[in-house]
Structures are given as C-alpha cells and as structure tokens.
Structure 1
C-alpha cells in the first residue's frame, strides 16, 4: 500500500516542482506584476479553503437535513457544482481578460455563459427527483419483461423461487436450502 501511495504521489510532486521552476523563471528579476501573481497563487487557495469550501459544506449539510429524501442528492450536487463553476469563472468575471488568451475564450460573454451553465445544472438537479415520480422504478420481485414471458393475469399463481423463504427466526448463517441431513441410508 505504501508503494502504491508513493507511486501516486510522484507525479504530483513532479508537477509541483515543475510549477516552482516555471514560477521562478517568471518571477526573476522581480517586477511589480510578480507580487500580484504571488497574491493570486497564495490568495486563491486560501480563499477557497477558508471561505468557499466551508460555505459549500455547511450549505450542503443544511440542505441535506432540511430537504426531503428524493431532493437531497440532486440539490446538494447542484450546490457543489455551482461552487466549482463560480470558482472557475471568477477570474473572467473579476476583470476582463483575467486569464491568458485562448482561442475562442474571450469571444463570448463569461457572465452569460456562467448563467446558462448554472441554469442547465439546476434544471437537471430539479428535474431528477421529479423524474422518479413520472418513471416508476422497477422492483426485484417483478419478472423480466421478455417476448417469451407469459402475460401476467390476476388469476395467475405468484412467481416463487425454488428455495423456501427465510424467516426472521432463522439465524443469519442458516442456508436457504439446508442440505439433506438424514443419517439413515435410503431403503433401510
């Protein structure tokens, strides 16, 4: 297990070292814009870990306790995705051209793009619990629907398994089909 962890950590440490090398190449000789970059490098994780992540966690816990069961997972998921999208969109919303230019990135309106993406996320989050009411879930007791299956009618006998059902009095280790435990041989 320790070997696997070390092998997983090596690429991350290598990427971290490469990032330090690139920042040192960028930062020296010192210029005024280097200090702004350093504030972003240090302030971004501090803002995320100190403000955004705790607020998202508290909001998720509160929503999980307040909302009814079918709404919990979709709404909490939508909340977390909203937090991530806001973090990603922040540089573009904070100032124009807040990121290095990439083809096609600055051609659109970042606020409109964020609004449309959030609308799509919340549409899916709110339609998911409603879909459970419209499309009933299948049960394990129902036979599979195939062309060869006989039609289910009211007077048809219930479908049972070969093994007798277990009762609450059976201990957990009791097999559903107990083996033949006769001690006398047949025919004696």
Structure 2
C-alpha cells in the first residue's frame, strides 16, 4: 500500500512543482495584477472551507434526517447535480465575456440553459422517487 501511495504522490508532487514554475514565470517581475491573482488563489480555498463546505454538509445532514427513505437518494443526487451545474455555469453568469470567446458558448443564454437543465434534473428526481421500488433482500 505504501508503494502505491508513493507512486500516486510523485506525479502529484511533479504537477505541483510544474504549477509553481508556471506561476513564477507569470508572477515575476511583480505587477499589480499578480496580487489580484494571489487573492484569488487564497480566497478560493477559504470560501470553500468556511462557507460552501459547511452549507453543503448542513444541507446533506438535513436531507438525510427529514426526507422519506424513497426520496433520499434521488434528492441527494439532484442536489449534487445542481451544485455541479451551477458551478460550471457560474463564470459565464458572473462575467459573460470574462475569458477568451468560444463560438457557440458565449452566444447562448446561459441563465436560461442552466434553468432548463436544472428543471430536467429535478423532473428526473421526482420521476426516480415516484417510480422507485423498495429493494428486496
């Protein structure tokens, strides 16, 4: 087991070192935008650990305590898909043309697409919960 961990650790360490080299090429000589980048690099994990993770944990706990058995798995799956889809759509919702333009991506209505996709996900959740049969052992 230790050998497997070492074999997984070494490529990760190499990727971390390569990322540090690329960031050093970007950051030096120091410019004002480098400090903004450092702010993003520090704020991302802090926002996740102090805000998002506790909220997701509390929501998961509440779902597992108060939902009937047949609704637990579909609703948890729908909640996870909602989080992932929202996370993917967030950059285009927040700043529609913040990055390089990608034909077919920036000319779409991101909010409408997200809402329609979430509607399909939650219709699937309702269908899965209503059609779910109790497992026999």
For normalisation by structure 1, the TM-score amounts to 0.64
In the TM superposition, what is the alpha-carbon distance from 1:103 to its structure 2 partner?
4.2
| 1:33–1:104 CA distance, 2 compared to 1 (3 A) | farther
Structure with the greater alpha carbon radius of gyration = 1
Over 3 Å counting, the alpha-carbon distance change for 1:57 and 1:47 in structure 2 is same
Change (3 A) 1:9 1:124: farther
User: Alignment length, in residue pairs?
Assistant: 137
Larger relative contact order (Cα-Cα within 8 Å, sequence gap ≥ 6): 2
Alpha-carbon distance change, 130 to 85 in structure 1, aligned in 2, over 3 angstroms: same
- Runs of 5+ in structure 2 lacking a partner? none
1:52–1:83: 8 Å Cα contact kept in structure 2? no
SS in 2 for 1:104: coil
Whether 1:70 aligns to 2:70 is: yes
SS at match of 1:129: helix
Q: Which residue of 2 aligns with 1:24?
A: 24
Q: Which runs of 5+ in 1 are unaligned?
A: 141-188
In 2 relative to 1, CA 47–86 (structure 1 residues): closer, same or farther, beyond 3 Å? Answer: farther
Residues 50-59 or 83-92, more deviating: 83-92
Question: Match of 2:60?
Answer: 60
For residues 4-153 of structure 1, the aligned pairs below 5 Å read: 4-132=4-132
Q: Is the Cα–Cα contact under 8 Å of residues 97 and 106 in structure 1 kept in the other structure?
A: yes
Instruction: From the two aligned structures, give the one with the greater helix fraction.
Output: 2
Aligned-residue CA RMSD (Å): 2.2
